[in-house]
Structure 1
């Protein structure tokens, strides 16, 4: 019989790496922690971390949660240690539910939980479940009590590729910290640093990896000649690093817009909000599972443009909050940019844009959604 006051979570890692999945998990943990602190009957919680070690910085460390750090060298020992530790835990504690933080862990969770009669939920993020998965992983998803994912698009890709009933999938979206990402005047120090005085500024934050050309940086560069006809003072600020930068730099030269594009390189997360404030428009005609960057820009009051066939439909609220265009169509991108720069549309009103964003995608909204799911 399961223990009604006990939850267990199993993750690959949260603290030893930075990335979209890790950031998403941290937001969920923060929301979960706020819920159990508010509860008059606190749920006992164990969190198992395959690749994190006890010396990592854990901002969620609390007496309310028991963290199990299982990182080992060589890594295969950690997998054995996780299997052994988790099985003993499940037999002894019989948690009410187990939450599996990555599809790679799902077969193990199913193998242990099903015979013990413990329901489990699988958390998914994006591309890792958009294509047909190995049979064991598909089976683990099909037998889960629930699956959580970040957007309707991710849900649809997951279900279509892996024969999953959409009714078992719940949307638990990404969020933005409205205290970190706030509107403000264009920072003079950044205007001077990037030589942007009197310019109209487009901006993108993206990895510049050759495997990630879907981000659409090259499409935006191709749109610049047309935008220049109406806004000769246009500049395009690209934040990010990666092995695709030489190709993109060559493209700017080939199109004669090399003097219009600034490759800013890597910018630490704590400096991102100031960089968003520099922009007149955030442009990323991409194919995203969700697109947290759109939330960050809109929370700073900056209008946005995205692709029209991906998870950005959720943060842009199906176009209510921004421009959605065919993601490889440079003419459509150019036209969207021109409309944003003219500033006549409600979607350019920064205060309204910020409020509409935070109403749906704040930490408080995530806590409310998580409370419903739990």
Structure 2
């Protein structure tokens, strides 16, 4: 509690000048980046020793629902019918703002906006930070984008993996990259009993349930749903009652369904389709293990599962190393290896069985998993990390 209260003590050094945040869009659509930025806004609102911030939104309009239009933020919506006109409008608005207000720092919310921020901030001597998320910086970028990253005072990203991929692809100095990870809402994602209604709906009564939440798009096969389906025959030899609940939708579902049929496990794979966020927690609670041998920039779904007390499996060469703490909190396997997935799933399901009143593997201890996930990646953790980054950027 003492540490929390320390965030409320005024700091004239930080409050000396305003901050400006610039994003493509936050409220007009849902997505991983949008959710991440909303978490940052929420954490910023927890701090009273930071200045009120101005926020420019290129593609959002005033008709967007915005719960953050409070004393902490002043929003400027720049959406236009023409994307080109919107860019011009943003450039003019940003130039006028920078000249008139000389903010202490500009936070650029997407690499696509970084060249404009560099072009206007550098002549005025205004430092800027570029926020990155994942795949948008994992490959070699156009020259102007690379230069904007090189000239940034700081780059924030979500995981060690994203840092390493971005630095290798674009020749960046890793010492310039700071971490602001994704977080989980521990007040929403909580343990609980399996819903009898959902068990009956999906025909999961008396079954061991593996689960994945993922987009089923043909361009996203890296999520590993097909790998898990290929692992099912071997898992079923040990746990005949196993079923695989797949939550998500996309154009790859017919291929995945046919794969299950070809392998003779079509009765063990349940495609639930799209599940809205407000119903997701009850679906996590159905799972005996969360399985997604993927290549993620971070993998917020692993935290959501752990916060619900569900053990997790991920790939072994991606950003999930952070939420899984390099295997301390879950199983990591080669992401395209069905044999490794099968072996790990069998370990997970056995580990969840009690021997002499105790779990055989601590990574299956739901209460401990939740405690670790919230301590390391809960919203309070993000607030403290953001506070530290803002102080270090002075």
Is the contact made by 2:159 and 2:179 (CA closer than 8 Å) also made in structure 1?
A: yes
- Aligned-pair CA distance for 1:310: 0.2
Q: Is 1:89 aligned to residue 58 of structure 2?
A: no
Q: CA RMSD in A?
A: 1.0
1:238 is matched with which residue? 246
User: 2 CA distance for matches of 1:161 and 1:367?
Assistant: 30
Q: Is 1:334 aligned to residue 369 of structure 2?
A: no
Where does the alignment leave 5 or more consecutive residues of structure 1 unmatched?
Answer: none
Give the one of 115, 119, 134 matched to 2:123. Answer: 115
Q: Is 1:196 aligned to residue 204 of structure 2?
A: yes
Q: CA deviation digits over 1:123-149, x for unaligned, max 9?
A: 000000000000000000000000000
Where does the alignment leave 5 or more consecutive residues of structure 2 unmatched?
Answer: 1-13, 352-359
Give the one of 352, 355, 359 matched to 2:375. Answer: 359
User: 2 CA distance for matches of 1:3 and 1:116?
Assistant: 20
User: 2 CA distance for matches of 1:4 and 1:139?
Assistant: 29
- Aligned-pair CA distance for 1:17: 1.1
User: 1 CA distance for matches of 2:32 and 2:15?
Assistant: 32
* Matched length: 369
Secondary structure of the residue aligned to 1:16 is coil
2:44 is matched with which residue? 32
Give the one of 362, 369, 372 matched to 1:346. Answer: 362
Is the contact made by 2:210 and 2:243 (CA closer than 8 Å) also made in structure 1?
A: yes
User: 1 CA distance for matches of 2:174 and 2:128?
Assistant: 17
Q: CA deviation digits over 1:189-235, x for unaligned, max 9?
A: 11011011100000000000000000000000000000000100000
Is the contact made by 2:15 and 2:51 (CA closer than 8 Å) also made in structure 1?
A: no
Residues 96-245 of structure 1: pairs in structure 2 closer than 5 A: 96-245=104-253
Q: CA deviation digits over 1:77-117, x for unaligned, max 9?
A: 11111100111000000000000000000000000000000
2:295 is matched with which residue? 287
Is the contact made by 1:3 and 1:96 (CA closer than 8 Å) also made in structure 2?
A: no
- Aligned-pair CA distance for 1:44: 2.9
Is the contact made by 1:280 and 1:302 (CA closer than 8 Å) also made in structure 2?
A: yes
- Aligned-pair CA distance for 1:3: 8.9
Is the contact made by 1:8 and 1:99 (CA closer than 8 Å) also made in structure 2?
A: yes
Q: CA deviation digits over 1:175-202, x for unaligned, max 9?
A: 0000000001111111011011100000
1:310 is matched with which residue? 318
Q: Is 1:11 aligned to residue 19 of structure 2?
A: no
Is the contact made by 1:146 and 1:169 (CA closer than 8 Å) also made in structure 2?
A: yes
Give the one of 275, 287, 306 matched to 1:267. Answer: 275
Q: CA deviation digits over 1:18-48, x for unaligned, max 9?
A: 111111111111111111xx33xx5131100
Normalising by structure 2, report the TM-score.
0.93
Is the contact made by 2:26 and 2:38 (CA closer than 8 Å) also made in structure 1?
A: yes
1:20 is matched with which residue? 32
Q: CA deviation digits over 1:41-75, x for unaligned, max 9?
A: x5131100000000100011113311000000122
Normalising by structure 1, report the TM-score.
0.98
2:328 is matched with which residue? 320
Is the contact made by 1:3 and 1:95 (CA closer than 8 Å) also made in structure 2?
A: no
2:354 is matched with which residue? none
Is the contact made by 2:208 and 2:239 (CA closer than 8 Å) also made in structure 1?
A: yes
Secondary structure of the residue aligned to 1:43 is coil
